[in-house]
Amino acid sequence: MTVFSRFVVAGTFAAASLMATQAGADSAPTLLGAYKNWSALQAVSSDGRSCYAMAQPKSSEPKKAKRDPIYFLINNWPQRRARDEVEIVSGYQFKADSTVTVEVGKDKFELFTKNDGDGGTAWMKDTGEEARLVAAMAHGATAVVTGTSARGTETKDTYSLGGLSGALDKAHSACGL
C-alpha cells in the first residue's frame, strides 16, 4: 500500500469513527478493507451491527466552497433488513425542500434531503430505486452528485467507482448478506 493510500484509508477511517460517534455507535467502526477508492467498514451500535461501503469524492465544485467532510455511503443493517441503503453526506446544510441528484452514465436518480445540526444528508426518494442505483454504480466509472446548499450554492461531487464492488462484497459478507 502506498503512502497516499494509507493516508486516504486513515482519513476515511477517522471520519467513519467520527460519524459513528455522532450517530451513537457503541464502538468505533472497524475497517474491513480498502478497495481502490472505496472502503468497507463495520460498526456496532444499540441498533445492532451495520456494514457499509464508503468513499470520498475525487473532485468537488466549486473548489472554494467551505464544507465539512463529504461522503457517499452504501449501508447495510441486517437487523432492519436494510440492504444497500444509499446515503450522501454533503458537508453542509441543504437548501430547504431541495433534492440531490446522482448521475451514473446516462442514469439519473433523485434523493430527498434532511438537515440535522450543521450538516445534511440525502436519501433515496424511492427506495425501490436503490438496487438500480447500486447496480449502475457497480458497472459505472463515476457517480456525480449534485446538490444545493442552504446558501444557494450548487455543488457537484464526482466519485470514482473503482473498488466499489470489492468494498460492497466485503460489507455484505461481514453482515451475513
Q: What does the pLDDT read at residue 25? A: 53
- Answer with the residue of higher pLDDT: 15 or 168: 168
Query: Using one digit for the tens of pLDDT, what is the confidence trace for 55-74?
Result: 999 999 999 999 999 999 99
* Reduced 3-state DSSP string for 92-160: CCECCCCEEEEEECCEEEEEEEEEECCEEEEEECCHHHHHHHHHHHHHCCEEEEEEEECCCCEEEEEEE
| Alpha-carbon gap, residue 114 to 154, rounded angstroms | 16
Q: Does domain 3-174 have CATH number 3.40.50.1370?
A: no
The pTM assigned to this predicted structure is: 0.84
- Answer with the residue of higher pLDDT: 167 or 127: 167
In which band, very low, low, confident or very high, does the pLDDT at 47 lie, cut at 50, 70 and 90?
confident
- pLDDT at residue 23 is higher than 70: no
- pLDDT at residue 4 is higher than 80: no
Query: Using one digit for the tens of pLDDT, what is the confidence trace for 100-153?
Result: 999 999 999 999 999 998 899 999 999 899 999 999 999 999 999 999 999 999
The ranges assigned to domains in the chain are 3-174
In which band, very low, low, confident or very high, does the pLDDT at 11 lie, cut at 50, 70 and 90?
very low
**φ/ψ of residue 4, rounded to 5:** -60, -45
How confident is the model over 97-101, as a mean pLDDT? 97
